[in-house]
Amino acid sequence: MVEIFDYDLVIIGSGLAGLRASIEAAKTGNGKLKIAIIAKNQLMRPHSISAEGGSAAVLYTDEGDSFDLHAYDTVKGSDYLCDQDVVEYFVRQAPLDILELEHWGIPWARRDDGRVAQRPFGGHSYPRATFAADRTGFYEVHGLYDTMLKYENIDKFHEQFVYDFIIEDNKFKGVTAFDIPTGEIRIFKARAGIVATGGLGRLFGYTTYSHLVTGDGLAIALRRGMRLKDIEFVQFHPTGLVPSGILITEGVRGDGGILRNAKGERFMEKYAPTKKDLAPRDIVSRSMMTEILEGKGFKGPNGLDYLLLDFSAIGAEKIKEKLSQVREIGNHYVGLDPVDSPLPVRPSAHYTMGGIDVTRTGFTGVTGLWAAGEAACLSIHGSNRLGANSTSECVVFGKIAGEDSAKWLLSDISTINLSEGERSHAENFVADAYKDKGDNDPYEIKRVLWSTMDKDAYVFRNERDLTEGLKIIKGLIDRSGKISISEKGNVYNQNLIASLEMKNLVELAEVVVNSALERRESRGSHFRTDYPKRDDENYLKHTIAQRANGGLQITYRPVTLTKWKPEARVY
């Protein structure tokens, strides 16, 4: 039996982008729109709460910062692959939205003069990371959720696993999901939708991402014929805690922390003489891996050799005040207190620069469907994101997607009718997944995927490894259709959820590795040891990946340049 809910707007995902979109859609609709926000976790437990360091915004033009400086830092940090017109809009809008969050109760840190405090972050020319201790994402999520509760026309659905979009003649009609607590099939019929499902970080085994982030929205969009953009660019955060990969915020280095090798040397002075430990993340990650590959790291478990993040220059009181969560993480996960001891770190998969190809408003090209946050690619980050720009992007463009979709709904008088075929598909999609089609273990497929991506598509890449990785991934895709799900019940069937997530991941892995193979240059987070130079003549363009004619097609689109021409990235 399929349960059908009827809405004007359905928002998939309850992170920063989804929450901000829901608020703006409700405000713009002025009570005239029926809105649902759904998530596969508890709505207040999205991966956004893991963001620690800050949200970038130009707050102090009277003290030397400027919109052009923030834009230039972002463009240069992106290795010139971002679309500069979108970046210019973003840097002007971010301060307005950051101050709006303050009015909604975000407890931003304060300077001695009472003004909002900002800390330095990698690649930024000015300390513009607005922060709330080292729990910025946590406070932002809670502030947005509390604000959303003011709107009675937003219905909230926890623990709903969305497994498909309903699209007919390029028009969005809703999403299909199952209720995780009961296993019941549900259709959220809607005239419009916003995809805010986050990135694809769980492609990798060693990652800062929670197990929640499995690229579901991206995989569904790919299967439904939508375009994915610049998907080969995956950011590796320099300081993932060994061996878990848990994020140790860039705010540590912003507050004075130093990376050291096994000889005790502050090695970043060699690679980025000016910025040192606060160079952009792609440069710091490559520098760290170079040190490790040259034998200057410490031997770690399961091949996870590491370097040290030294907190001593920060001081105990400042650590306790501004980095209390990092201190808890160190104590809990590795038994080390950063006040007394450095932490073991190495680059960890952290962020998806690419995503669903969208316009500035988040429109996907499918009538009635938008995307926002990490699931979308507006080309703000290009091939390498500057720290603290992501949470700002989620708030800025989540708001825009919510507003634009609501305005469109108010002007659209069409109705949605579901066919029997669409109802049948909703029910049979999951029913088919229950059937034993082979003896492959979905968890083993995921483990092989993780080891393959960690080895063949990590910080340093080359044609041999990528080709071998792609071969393994294609085998995993074949195996993913021949699995056995050991748990047969309906209530909280975690085996079924893990199997569907696994299928999403292996399909996305093919796109990431294929796109990386085709980009025969080094740019930002994508570094090819066999093509170590940036090639603006041939690759100053966006990668567009799309399922068509039974296969994966890779095409390219020019980058939009406004004020800043490509130059060498020297830090």
Phi, psi for 233 (deg, rounded to 5): -90, 100
Cα–Cα distance for residue pair 466/470, rounded to 1 Å? 6
Q: State the Cα–Cα distance between residues 67 and 35, nearest whole angstrom.
A: 35
Report how far residue 41's alpha carbon sits from residue 68's, in angstroms, rounded to the nearest whole number. 39
Estimate the share of the chain in helix, then strand, then coil, as percent rounded to the nearest 5: 40, 20, 40
Shortest CA distance to 533 belongs to which of 522, 520, 519?
522
CA distance 362 to 341: 45
The runs of H, that is alpha helices, within 166-215 are none
Residue 163, SS3?
A: strand
Query: Any residues with CB less than 8 A from the CB of 444 and at least 6 apart, and which?
Result: none
Per the residue annotation, which of 202, 237, 281, 526 is the catalytic one?
A: 237
237 counts as catalytic: yes
Q: What angle do CA 189, 195, 200 make, to 5 degrees?
A: 135
HEC string of 457-485? CCCEECHHHHHHHHHHHHHHHHHHCCECC
Annotated catalytic residue: which of 20, 253, 286, 526?
253
CA 209 to chain centre: 9
Residue 204 φ then ψ, to 5°? -105, 150
Cβ–Cβ under 8 Å, residues 176 and 186? yes
Tell me the residue length of the chain: 571
Distance CA 299, CA 291 (A): 12
Separation between Cα atoms, residue 13 and residue 2, nearest integer Å: 22
Query: Which residue, 168, 209, 216, 64, is CA-closest to 126?
Result: 64
Under 8 Å CB-to-CB from 507, ≥6 apart: which residues?
219, 222, 223, 477
Give me the active site residues, please. Answer: 237, 253
